[in-house]
Amino acid sequence: MLKCLGIDPGLARVGYAVLLQEGHLLRPLGFGCIETRPKTPLPCRLNIIYDRLREQIERASPDFLSVEKLFFGRNTTTAESVWQARGVVLLLANQFGLPVLEPKPSQIKLAVCGSGTAPKEQVQRMVQRLLGLSEIPRPDDAADAIAAAVTGFSLFRRERKISLSQSGGSHAPLSLR
């Protein structure tokens, strides 16, 4: 059994999802969204994210994190604040000694839908199907975090196989960054 905490980073909304893998089955243990208010000073917003994600890590005791890697075009102001929130996630992972996988959006779409260019709605429907949920997870950020966790499991298995083959089959520690 393995547990992954998937994160869709943001400043206004951070999606999170805890998935349990038992054999080839994935089961959601919880998912949701941490929201911060736009008028709140940035340091306070980052602290809210830190505290709430710390609670999730303490409650879930994940084996690793899967945090979506971000790419921004022209809006550097938005990118800066999201990168700061993402830094909080990476700091927490380090403080708890958790390996971190950082799939790109195209990797997440490929892992969940079979196409690296799948539209957001298709990813959400596939997440619903993969986990046997009665409806699409809401808000969108939570669905994105679930997709990041699903991708994290496939990347974790691949990294584990590479690590074991390079170490002659012994159980060497994983380096997933």
Q: In what order do the strands lie in the sheet with 100-101?
A: 25-35, 13-22, 2-8, 64-67, 100-101
Please state, in angstroms and rounded to a whole number, the distance separating the CA atoms of residues 115 and 106: 8
Return the H-helix or E-strand segment holding 38.
none
141 given a catalytic annotation: yes
Among candidate residues 55, 58, 68, 140, the one labeled active-site is 68
- What tokens does 85 get? 């929130």
Please state, in angstroms and rounded to a whole number, the distance separating the CA atoms of residues 164 and 160: 6
51 given a catalytic annotation: no
22 given a catalytic annotation: no
Please state, in angstroms and rounded to a whole number, the distance separating the CA atoms of residues 99 and 97: 7
CA dihedral 16, 153, 122, 75 (to 10 degrees): 60
- Active site (catalytic) residues: 8, 68, 141
